[in-house]
Amino acid sequence: MLRLGTREFGGHEPVIMAIVNRTPDSFYDQGATFTDAPALERVERAVAEGAAIIDVGGVKAGPGEEVSAQEEIRRTVGFVAEVRRRHPDVVISVDTWRHEVGEAVCEVGADLLNDAWGGVDPRLAEVAAKHGVGLVCTHAGGARPRTRPHRVGYEDVMADILKVTVDLAERAAALGVRRDAILIDPGHDFGKNTRHSLEATRRLPEMTATGWPVLVSLSNKDFVGETLDRPVKERLIGTLATTAVSAWLGAQVYRVHEVAETRQVLDMVASIAGHRPPAVARRGLA
């Protein structure tokens, strides 16, 4: 059982986390939701299409203009408060590696801290424990925030992923973060080349075997683009294929840009696996 905010998710229940970028320079939407009105419209649409979690990010993952903690707070806190007011039961996640930002967003209603940079600020887990919120523990290969991998190598990439994420999860639990509010994430693209991310995907059962729920952030990423030789805006099919494989292999939470398409893929996989009945079943019955 995964418990985040007011929501509980069963072990076979796939969960969609919709990305809402509060940045002017996102790799995917180039700032389309940087201002309040379109960002709030994005939230409304994502919830209507089946997202249970809204993931708010105030700094893009890749290199770019420096963003201070104060600016990141400015971009996220008021928005989180407004989403909380409009959607009391939606799970609000904030994508940050900074404890100062985590503290500020938890005070206005965030339910989950999505630490995509692998515990680079160890105080973030302490903030999650203090406020009783969840935590995503990600493998980033020791990379510093907002840097790209360079000649990165692993003797065994999944062994490294398991060591890092499980250690981070156990540390968080020891600090007081509820065990049923901790997720682990292999960190596709973060501190990895394309072959590493592909291997992490096909070896997801090793992560699910740990007992921690697994979150995957696959949406339109570079490993999809390189695998198919497609630019950012032509990676949806590859993303959905990777989503289907990840669902079959046991991942539970999916951080995505395209909610409606992801919902259909996850529902189809769940029905094939026997965890969800067909929405309609008339064929051959009349």
| CATH classification of the domain holding 135 | 3.20.20.20
Flag whether 207 is in a domain: yes
Flag whether 280 is in a domain: no
- 235-280, pLDDT tens digit by residue? 999 999 999 999 999 999 999 999 999 999 999 999 999 999 999 9
How many Å separate Cα 199 from the centre of its chain?
19
Flag whether 286 is in a domain: no
The mean pLDDT of the chain is 96
- 196-208, pLDDT tens digit by residue? 999 999 999 999 9
Flag whether 228 is in a domain: yes
Q: pLDDT band at 72, cuts 50/70/90?
A: very high
pLDDT for res 26: 76
**142-152 mean pLDDT:** 94
Count of domains forming the chain? 1
Flag whether 282 is in a domain: no
Could you give the residue numbers annotated as active site? Answer: 221, 255
The Cα 27–Cα 272 span in angstroms is: 34
Q: Which residues contact 10 (CB under 8 A, 6 or more apart)?
A: 1
Is the predicted pLDDT of residue 97 greater than 90, yes or no?
yes
Q: Angle CA(214)–CA(29)–CA(56) in degrees, nearest 5? A: 45
Write phi, then psi, for 120 (nearest 5 degrees). -60, -30
Flag whether 117 is in a domain: yes
Flag whether 40 is in a domain: yes
Residue 117 belongs to domain spanning = 2-273
Q: Which of 222, 214, 215 is nearest to 197 (CA)?
A: 222
**73-100 mean pLDDT:** 97
